[in-house]
A and B are shown apart, each in its own frame.
Chain A
Amino acid sequence: MENIAELEHVSKIFAGKTAVEDVSFVIPRGSVTAVLGPNGAGKTTVLSMLLGLREPSSGSVRIFGQSPKDAQVKRRIGAMLQEVSVIDGLNAREVMSMIRSYYPHPLKLTEMADLAGFTPEELNKRADKLSGGQKRRLGFALALAGDPDLLFFDEPTVGLDSTSRRTFWQQVEALAHKGKTILFSTHYLQEAEDAADRILLFNKGKIAADGTPDEIVSRLTSRSVSFIADLEDGDSYAVGEMIHRMCSIPGVRDCKEEEGRWSVTADNTDTVLAAIFRYNIPARDIRTGQGRLDDAFEVMLTHDQEKEAVSS
């Protein structure tokens, strides 16, 4: 598969502070990639380097094999940026006509109006008088004005209600079906899991994980077995022995009681179940569970913070 974008050992330092550190990845044609991470993880910085708005301190960024600043590249990309409002003094239709005049093979004005979902009245409204949601839809239509091959969406759904959010992701899916390459950043974990076929997990300016949503989940989520143990009250020997037995199973990370339920966290829940039966532990109401990506994300971050706390 042809690579649409390539980053090689890219770092970005702002006034002595490292925002992005030695990041390398390639974006194949037709992929939908989520750049996921908490605030300040370097997502927007990576995007702005891909868009040619910022120069990497070291390393190289290539889009379609060229510099992102090349006019040829700009004709084939479209983007929705964060914190971009609209131009003043023009109505929505004029803004659309203006932006589409920049591209060699633009969408028709009617197609753009459809993408934004604008009625004729909305098209005649001054762009700066549109509501927040309408401005965002205008921004979406503008991103597609040049019928681009590669699309960037920086935190596209922040501040949108759930209906608009759903509509947005449906549109993105339709674009992906048409073979567009899409890269979006988000800190909504659910969105990355649902909309992307690949997640680049960023943390502290580095790629913490790179894979399909499933891979990320299985790599980082904790699975657990929980049950109610009918141990006699005050029988500290039985409790102690059970904890000891559970913790000696390979892959078990934790065994603790919370509000009467015991929960055993492990890489492989089958071995835990086997052990429960083997040792005749008086367990009932046994449940196995797998954390969603949310949890995985949380785990990764707290994990990192702990490490940092230890090293500092």
Chain B
Amino acid sequence: MKMLLMQCKVEMLRIIRNPYYVFWSLLMPIVFYYIFTKIVNTGVDDAKAWQAHYLMSMTTFSVMGSSIMTVGIRMVQEQSLGWSVYMRITPLPGSIYFISKMFGQTVMHAFSVIVIFVAGFLMNGVQMSIGQWIGSGLWILVASIPFLALGTLFGTMKRVDTTSGLSNITYMLMAVLGGMWMPIDSFPSVLQTIGQWLPSYNYGSGVWSIAAGEAPGLKPILILASYLILFMVLSIYIRKKQEAV
């Protein structure tokens, strides 16, 4: 237990001290939110609904990014620095190491969610019921698990620069095609069809429903669960194969 607490603390310290985290996960989404709700006139009919919707888009954008990128890049870094080999000769069980990584990440996500929500509230006075706020926050945290798994999948790669390049591209493509920047309705129909099957769209759609006062549908939950299983199986399979040397 002492180990677990210590490890969680350490992981959080490492994330918060990472300048990329502050930039990508906090600053970027807030700036985007400001631009697309305050400066650019998007011409939507219901400005209030749009402001709530887009706040959710930006929060999911933030959390998805740090799930994929921070986890993946960090794992590759630790591998290439030999640090993860060193951890294997210490008595720290691999499971605790992994759990605290995921836990530390989730705590940081909760922090991002709070910061971005507060920013949205202060900028546009986004109004939702307490239940909606909490529900949205919880959805964003829980439904980020498939992206954490995707992060560990990127974490099996060998080189830091290819990992950061590839995960960045994946992240941006998923964000755009999943309607996190612009609602998917404005896309050509082919892109809409693709987008609907992406984990990013389903991640967003659950919380968009909550923000609009509805319960998330079954479809996004099922799709996200399938992606979670896919990413986990792949990541475990690759890791086992690498360790069998």
Task: Say yes or no: A53-B88 contact (C-beta < 8 A), given A89-B13, A98-B7.
Answer: yes
Task: Say yes or no: A98-B6 contact (C-beta < 8 A), given A83-B82, A88-B14, A89-B13.
Answer: yes
A84 to B88, CA, bound (A): 12
A-B CB pair tally, cutoff 8 Å: 64
B residues near A292, Cβ cutoff 8 Å: none
Q: Is A175 an interface residue (CB 8 A)?
A: no
Q: Which residue of A lies closest to B15 (CB)?
A: A89
Contact with B along A81-111 (1 / 0, CB 8 A): 1011111111000100111011100000000
Contact with A along B82-103 (1 / 0, CB 8 A): 1101101111110000000000
A interface residues, how many (CB within 8 angstroms): 27
Q: Is the CB of A81 within 8 A of B7?
A: no
Chain B interface size band reads: 20 to 34
Q: Is the CB of B14 within 8 A of A77?
A: no
Q: Is A207 an interface residue (CB 8 A)?
A: no
Contact of A88 among B77, B82, B90 (CB under 8 A): B77
Q: Which residue of B lies closest to A68 (CB)?
A: B89
Q: Is A217 an interface residue (CB 8 A)?
A: no
Most buried by A among B10, B77, B86: B86
Contact with A along B218-239 (1 / 0, CB 8 A): 0000000000000000000000
Contact of B78 among A81, A87, A97, A146 (CB under 8 A): A87
Nearest Cβ in chain A — how far from B167, in angstroms? 18
A312 to B118, CA, bound (A): 76
A residues near B86, Cβ cutoff 8 Å: 81, 84
Q: Is B2 an interface residue (CB 8 A)?
A: yes
A residues near B245, Cβ cutoff 8 Å: 14, 54
Nearest Cβ in chain B — how far from A9, in angstroms? 21
A248 to B7, CA, bound (A): 72
Q: Is the CB of A53 within 8 A of B85?
A: yes
B residues near A98, Cβ cutoff 8 Å: 6-7, 10
Task: Say yes or no: A101-B17 contact (C-beta < 8 A), given A54-B245, A77-B89, A79-B89.
Answer: no
A residues near B6, Cβ cutoff 8 Å: 97-98, 101
Task: Say yes or no: A52-B89 contact (C-beta < 8 A), given A14-B245, A84-B83, A97-B6.
Answer: yes
Q: Is B18 an interface residue (CB 8 A)?
A: yes
Q: Is the CB of A86 within 8 A of B7?
A: no
Q: Is the CB of A102 within 8 A of B92?
A: yes
A residues near B90, Cβ cutoff 8 Å: 74, 99, 102, 146
Q: Is the CB of A71 within 8 A of B81?
A: no
Nearest first, the 3 A-B pairs at minimum CB distance are A89-B14, A84-B82, A85-B81
Which residues of B are interface residues toward A (Cβ below 8 A)? Answer: 2-3, 6-7, 10, 13-15, 17-18, 77-78, 81-83, 85-86, 88-93, 245
12 contacts between A and B (CB under 8 A): A51-B89, A52-B89, A74-B89, A74-B91, A81-B86, A84-B81, A85-B83, A89-B17, A89-B18, A90-B13, A98-B6, A101-B3
